[in-house]
Amino acid sequence: MKNDPYENFRELLNKTYMFPATYIHKFIGKNSSIFQQSVQEFEQKFIGLKRTGQNTSASNAHLALTYEFLAGTADDVILLTQETAKINDLIYIL
């Protein structure tokens, strides 16, 4: 794909994983009702997405979430990442 901003990520995924594969996905957001509602909507979009961890920061200001995602292809992981980026009050995708 020409000028695809995800091409390097796709190549790395294909070199690292033998698809289908379980992909560990982590991100951090503000510990807010807006973030938590947006996360619920995000979770409903993906079959095979399972939350495996949740931690709050010492100040209780941030929430870190960890998921296992059964991805059929690298493009499934890219779609997961793109949808994660749309979450309200998202701070960082790990």
- Domains present along the chain, CATH in parentheses: 7-93 (3.30.70.260)
Determine the Cα angle at 47 with ends 91 and 30, to 5°. Answer: 15
Is it the case that residue 1 has pLDDT exceeding 80? no
CA 59 to chain CA centroid, nearest Å: 23
Average pLDDT over residues 54-73: 97
Determine if the pTM surpasses 0.95: no
Residue 3: the pLDDT is: 83
Residue 26: the pLDDT is: 98
Residue 2: the pLDDT is: 66
Residue 73: the pLDDT is: 97
